[in-house]
A and B are shown apart, each in its own frame.
Chain A
Amino acid sequence: MIYQIARTIEDGILAFHGFGSPLVQLALHLAKRTHAPRMVLVAGATYGVNPNPPFLTPTSNDWVMDRGAECHLDIEELFDLAASGRMGRMFLSGLQIDRFGNLNVTRLGRDRLQLKLPGGGGGCNLSCDAVHVTIWTAAHRTTPDAKGRRRFRLVADCDFITSVGHRTTDGKTRKEMGYRGEGPDRIITELGVFDFDDFGQARLTALYPDVEIDTVRENTGFDFPVSESLSVTPMPSAEMVEFIRALDPLKIHEREFKPEERLRSFPLV
């Protein structure tokens, strides 16, 4: 998954990872080390530029994550960069993700607050302003409860819109809303990869080698189109995997996955 996220990062852009996202932190460092050496890597929470942390910590506003940074942005500069169109890519997730890439990290329950989620930080602003957005979740697969009901991560509708995708709840496009960024272009999950069609709807474009299309269907709360060129996700090299393991000796990123997902293994390139 880290490799799939890394593959969405173009060389030569300014990319920013938020906090609470170890998979993304690792993906950015992997991309910078491989195909995107000229990326301006801005770290979430410290706003350090091009840091070289000795190991990943479970907390992102930590000097560990800031070691080796060439300089630092302040909070207003970081968000100004996005608002003025200089932030090439941002990475967002949600406890609910809808077919247009709208995300909810604020609350579950519409009329009555059932579960207060931590909140979206600056994700709301950046979902409008960043040029491109990569959406990710490591919890696409859902387990049915005793009555066979599933609480989907990829849902038909979000209970609250924390950050915006391609269409608002009343069907307006990003252009109609005046957002400067182009919106999400990928949803990376532990089951597969979606891009977005011309209508702004998530479209399945790749599957991991051990996942069937029906598995994605039964774990997704909306019907989705499938790309004509549906492919199998490319696999990272052994060196890349080694790099990730060395950067995350405390295995912080594994905390994002359910125990059964951690048991999956893939042949490396």
Chain B
Amino acid sequence: MNQAVYTKTDKSCDLPSLIAHVHPGDCLGVGGGLSSREPMAALRELVRQAIGNLRLVGSAHGIDVDLLCGAGLVAESAESYVGFEQDFGMAPNYRRACETGIVAVRDGCCYTLVQQLRAAIAGLPFMPMRSVLGTGFMAMHPEYKTMICPYTGEELLLVPALKPDVAIIHAQFGDAQGNLHIEGPPVTDILFAKASKKVIATVEQILPTEQITEKGVTIPYFYITAMSEVPYGAHPTACYPFYAYDRRHTKEYHRLASEGDEAFQAYLQTYIYGCDSQAQYLETIGGMDSLERLASWQQGAEVWQALYA
């Protein structure tokens, strides 16, 4: 099937309509990475709409995947890493869901994911690579094949093209037709956008096209299916230059998730089911005081450092 191009001139919509593009059972590529630029507001809306049975693919992730697991929406994970690094360690909901068998464990590797997405982007059925042979991933992924290279006689690994049903991305800026400007590391967002059947995006600010062009277009509009302007849409992960990682909130999240399903349900009730909108969520996390604290990183290294204490 050919991939679509999206040419609607105004793709902006509200968050519920944006998330309506995701269907139960979809293969989902979540943008961002670790504690940065995760499309958290979009994922919270996904939790509110309870769109489940999802299959996740991705590179290095944390609270985003853990949240979806904690809300019971994930059937399978092919992420290459899900955790909270040196900060809080393992991802509690993800671990529980994997260990109880609710989530099928199909871990991937970063380069394998890259090659699979590149095959999809180029319209090819597979990509060859050298690594992975001899590891436990071969038994975990029966779809990986090998071939003898007709040029060199080497044995190569083949990984099939991967076209996620939906990519969900949060960017700093976009225009109404969907051109996105990402500041800082794009992680796999660009590959996800080009390989996926649909791309839905949230942005901190919608700007006129001239201003986006001036900043530079990271992902061209015709890959984007729909978008919403959602300020603080990555909270509690960072979306610089607007705001830093909210370590305080993440700590509370991790504490409740670690206590077990019941405690985590209270988190979901407070911050997701109990908040109909992003505005209400921002009030619940502490309103202007919290937001100003997270924007304070710009005042210098000392203030920035205090956000991690």
A178 touches B155 (CB 8 A): yes
User: Judging by beta carbons under 8 Å apart, are B135 and A161 in contact?
Assistant: yes
Contact across chains for B134 and A164 when beta carbons are under 8 A apart: yes
- Chain A CB within 8 A of B278 CB: no
Chain B residues in 8 Å Cβ range of A58: 85-87, 247, 308
Tell whether, in the assembled complex, residue B185 and residue A45 are in contact, meaning their CB atoms are under 8 Å apart. yes
- Complex: chain A residue closest to B94, CB-CB: A116
We find that the number of chain B residues with CB closer than 8 angstroms to chain A is 59
Query: Which residue in B81, B95, B304, B309 is a CB contact (below 8 Å) of A19?
Result: B81
Question: Which residue of B36, B98, B110, B305 is within 8 Å of A122 (Cβ)?
Answer: B110
> Whole-angstrom distance from the CB of B117 to the nearest CB of chain A?
9
- Residues in B with CB closer than 8 Å to A224 are none
Surface stretch bound by A, among B3-11, B186-194, B197-205? B186-194
Main secondary structure of the interface of B (DSSP, over half): mixed
Q: A83: which B residues are within 8 A, CB to CB?
A: 111, 129-131
Q: Which residue of the partner chain, among A74, A129, A178, contacts B190 with CB atoms under 8 Å?
A: A74
The reply to whether A22 and B301 form a contact with Cβ atoms under 8 Å apart is no
The answer to whether B99 has its CB under 8 Å from any CB of chain A is yes
Q: Are B137 and A124 in contact (CB under 8 A)?
A: yes
Q: Are B136 and A162 in contact (CB under 8 A)?
A: yes
Q: A250 and B308 in contact (CB under 8 A), knowing A46-B184, A119-B107? A: yes
- Which B222-251 residues sit within 8 Å CB-CB of chain A? 238, 240, 244-245, 247
Chain A nearest Cβ from B224, distance in angstroms: 19
With known contacts A128-B132, A129-B131, A61–B94 Cβ distance under 8 A: no
Q: A187-213 CB contact bits vs B (8 Å, 1 = yes)?
A: 000000000000000000000000000
Interface string of A93-123 (1 = CB under 8 A from B): 0000000000010110000011111111111
Q: Is A252 an interface residue (CB 8 A)?
A: yes
* CB within 8 Å of A: which B35-90 residues: 35-36, 59-60, 79-87, 90
From A32-40, A62-70, A225-233, give the one contacting chain B.
A62-70
For residue B133, CB closer than 8 A to chain A, the reply is yes
Cross-interface CB contact of B111 among A106, A122, A172, cutoff 8 Å = A122
B36 near A62 (CB under 8 angstroms)? yes
Q: A79-B114, A114-B99, A168-B134 are in contact. Are A120 and B86 (CB under 8 A)?
A: no
- CB pairs A–B below 8 angstroms (6 shown): A61-B35, A121-B59, A121-B80, A124-B131, A124-B132, A160-B136
If A20-B86, A59-B87, A256-B86 are given as contacts, then 20 extra A-B residue pairs at C-beta distance below 8 Å, sorted by A number, are A55-B304, A59-B86, A62-B245, A63-B36, A63-B184, A76-B118, A76-B191, A104-B136, A113-B99, A116-B95, A118-B81, A118-B90, A118-B91, A121-B80, A128-B133, A162-B136, A177-B133, A179-B134, A249-B305, A255-B86
